[in-house]
Amino acid sequence: MTAATIGRPLAVGGWGRLAWPAWRQHRAALAGFAVVSGVLAAVMLWAALAGHAYYTALIRDHCIGSRQLARCGPLLGDFPWLENGNYDIAVTLLARAGPVLAGVFLGAPVLAREYERGTARFTWTQGTSRTRWALVNVMVLAVPVVAVSAALGALATWSLQPLRALGQASRWQGSFDSTPVTLAAWALFAFLLGVTAGAVLRRVVPAMAVAGGAIAALVLVNAWKLHGLLLTTGAVVTRTRLLADQFYALPLTNGEQFFFGGSLARAPAGSWVLDGWFADRNGHRLTGAALNPLYSLKAPQQQAWVARHQASVWISYQPGRHFWVLQGLESGVLLALALALAAATVVLIRRSST
Amino acid sequence: MTITLRGNKARASSRPRFGLAWVTWRQQRATLLVLAGLAGAVAAVMLAAGLRGHALYPAFVKNHCLQVAGPGVTEVSSSLICRRLGGQFPGIGGPFYLLSGHTAVVVNGSFLNSYPTDMTLALLAMFLLTGMFLGAPLLGRELGQGTFRFAWTQGTSPVRWCVSKLLLLGGAVMAAGAGLGALGAWSLQPFNLAAGTSRWQDGQFETTVLTAAAWAGLAFVLGAFSGTLLRRTVPAMAATAAGAGVLLAATFWKLYGLLLGVHPLITQDNAQASAAGLATTAAPVRLLDVPLGASAGHMNPGPPGSLLLRGWYAGPDGRRLTGAPAEALINAYQRSPAGRDWAAWLSRHHDTFLVSYQPAGRYWIFQGVEAGALLLLALLLGAATVWLVVRSRGARIRGRRPGPG
């Protein structure tokens, strides 16, 4: 800060003049954010490079789905993430925990700290409007949060590609919320929820606790229920046929198929199967005891049973072309909520007494 | 609060321990009540899951619904009653189906697809929160805002003030952690018996009655230490979350495996070769030296209650097969018309599959080692916290000029 800055009212220089003190105030938070993001980015970059190199080697040696163990065996042992899908789970957890941390550590203190220390009162005497003051403080953090989240989402998506190509991870499941679009939307929403909690409670630690609780609750409800509901939106129902048991021949792609005990039915590549069922000759879905013998049959007998009873096999699935539509739907809802929170915060600040 | 203390100084000093406990409670009650509410909610979920699991498990046994490990095949009954019972286990999410040579657990679109994982994450997150919201502001706020100057004029020395707070709250946190850990382990028993999980798995291993108490205590003391060191609440909370998070990540990534890999026993177990997936190529596996892990042990458990670590082939002379000889062995088996009885085929050719494992009896020894290490770290951090308080400027001022106005 120069003497000239102190000597003049802050409003004279407009937005830029406000941005400098805001940056000074939040640089510790931004530095912490940069360090954490940098570490995550480095880990994902390493995972992406290793995974893509491995996948290239698999393609080069024609080892995908191969049974030639002498040639492909040593190569197939090189990819530790394939076991238990650990990397996919780690990315999913980060996409869950990241927004909570952004809301708690970056969002909640922004306004709460100014209220708690009373520095808000000083700032409001400096000839700048409260709204502008709050907006600048929020934007100084919100812009990096959104930009870095989108970048991390892109990196996560890229690093998961080899696992997806091998059928070990699905873009429809855990990593649905770690694409650039959804991760940025979640981060912005969580950040603004923290800001609003700070503006309401005006004390830092309670605001952090409330924001953390609220964001975590939403993240969990989304994981347990809302995501499932989202995936049923606009699902396609189609009649299909049973395939013979092919477990030994092909790399399994989770989510593109439905298991009917002995055999399975597949949906088009890139889709996500929601449900599968048998229907009788009148088209009614078979339930309960009628299925009991059917599920204990091996694949050929199952196919024969279906033919003999003039039954039909059905699946409902989300086709691959709906992926970005659903991504947009979820992100749109989150952005609308974020805007509502921002508006509520502005109203709160305007009405607050000094 | 403070006025009462000053007014009744004689009475307060006649019951000093109780007095400090009361002050500690009054200062932290909001945080303590919120944390207790969270712990109660987690405990209620675990109790519900445990009661349901313990009620369902006998029905599982009675209806022959448990997984049966045969040579090369793990069979799960797919009868209606079994599918219904399987679907009722909380968090498993779907029925088991019989597949030739494979068990498919159909999970209905859940992100973290099982109760055991959810429970572990919930407990560890609770410990992190305790460190952040109870530990970090505990001493840091008083030192940062200067209220310690008043507290130390009330006839309590800085050391006793600090030690009492740490011991009282740390003891409560560890007791709660131990209770939650014990409840969690109890609620997981039916899952481990019915669903192929194991108490040796990293998540369960880190949240038993011993390790949960130790992690809870460590997170709390780490928070108190960060608060005392940094003297500002928000950075101290961030440091606590980062420190405990890094320690947990390191434990799950490396330290857990290092601890359980210490001096394993070795035995011959040909049947394990097929359970380890060597006879099937649906999923890529390490062919020559197989990490077996805790869940593989359930399908074909090896010595009862043990943790299988690794498996490898040995030739007729007992030497470990690596490289080309091991590949030749597997290829010879695949070309043989003998069907899928891998164990019998190995025996006929005088080859063996060896496994290294930790026997069941060592479980609580390893638990004690890990909990002891974590507690030692917590004690060191606690001592460092007290040292920081004692050498702080406020304490030294008090030593020269008792009771500054």
CB distance A33 to A145 below 8 Å: yes
CA separation for the pair A179, A181 (Å, rounded): 5
Q: Are A71 and A61 in contact (CB under 8 A)?
A: yes
Indicate the helix (H) or strand (E) that contains B75: strand B73-75
Compute the distance between CA of residue B268 and CA of residue B265 in angstroms, rounded to an integer.
11
Question: CB distance from A118 to chain B under 8 Å?
Answer: no
Q: What residues of A are in contact with residue B28 (Cβ under 8 Å)?
A: none
Segment 214-233 of chain B within 8 Å of chain A by CB: 233
Q: Is B33 on the interface with A (CB under 8 A)?
A: no
A251, closest residue in chain B (CA to CA): B282
Q: How far apart are CA A55 and CA A335, in angstroms?
A: 36
Q: Which of A50-59, B52-61, B87-96, B268-277 has the lowest mean pLDDT?
A: B87-96
Query: Do A152 and A33 touch, CB atoms closer than 8 A?
Result: no
Please give the structure tokens belonging to residue B24.
């500690």
User: Which residues of chain A are within 8 Å of residue B34 when distances are taken between CB atoms?
Assistant: 209
pLDDT > 70? residue A262:
no
Cβ pair A89:B112 closer than 8 A: yes
Give the per-residue pLDDT at B78: 57
List of E strands, chain A: 236-240, 257-260, 263-266, 272-279, 312-318
Max avg pLDDT among A47-61, A117-131, B350-364, B378-392: B378-392
Average pLDDT taken over every residue of chain A? 83
pLDDT of B97 reads 35
- For residue B20, give the amino acid letter: L
Give the integer Cα–Cα distance in Å for A192 and A111: 11
Q: Give the pTM.
A: 0.82
A132/B202 Cα distance (integer angstroms): 50
Q: What pLDDT is stored for residue B384 in this prediction?
A: 96
Cα distances (Å, whole numbers) of residue A94 to A41, A185, A186, A304, B400? 12, 15, 12, 47, 51
Among A114-128, B33-47, B149-163, B293-307, the range with the most confident prediction by mean pLDDT is B33-47
* Residues B13, B19: Cα–Cα separation, whole Å: 8
A325, exposed or middle or buried, with CB in 10 Å at 0-12, 13-18, 19+?
exposed
* Whether B307 contacts B357, CB under 8 Å: yes
Per-residue pLDDT tens over the stretch A292-324: 667 667 777 888 888 888 888 899 999 999 999
Mean pLDDT of chain B: 76
With cut-offs at 50, 70 and 90, classify the pLDDT of residue A47: confident
| Chain B residues near residue A298 by CB distance under 8 angstroms | 100
Angle B167-B173-B177 from CA coordinates, rounded to 5°: 140
Phi, psi torsion values for B316, nearest 5 degrees:
-60, -30
Q: pLDDT by residue (tens digit) across B173-212?
A: 999 999 999 999 999 888 777 766 788 888 899 999 999 9
**Cα angle B379, B385, B386; round to 5:** 95
Amino acid at site A267: A
* Residues in Cβ contact with B373 at an 8 Å cutoff, skipping those fewer than 6 apart: none
CA B228 to CA B171: how far, in whole Å? 19
What is the biggest distance separating any 2 CA atoms in chain B, rounded to whole angstroms? 94
**Spatial distance between the Cα atoms of A318 and A228, rounded to a whole number of angstroms:** 11
Find which of A80-84, A135-139, B106-110 is predicted with most confidence, using mean pLDDT: A135-139
Dump pLDDT digits (tens) for A272-284.
888 888 888 888 8
Provide the residue type at B343 as one letter. Answer: A
Question: Does ipTM exceed 0.85?
Answer: no
- Chain B CB within 8 Å of residue A89 CB: yes
Contact B97 A261 (CB under 8 A): yes
- Whether residues B233 and A205 touch (CB distance < 8 A) is answered with yes
Q: Which of A185-199, B7-21, B225-239 has the lowest mean pLDDT?
A: B7-21
Q: Which member of B99, B111, B284 has the closest CB to residue A227?
A: B111
Q: Which SS3 state, helix, strand or coil, does residue B289 take?
A: strand
- A122 contacts: CB under 8 Å, gap ≥ 6: none
Residues facing B353 on adjacent strands: B313
**Helical spans, DSSP H, in B300-349:** 323-335, 342-348
CB contact under 8 A, A73 and B330: yes
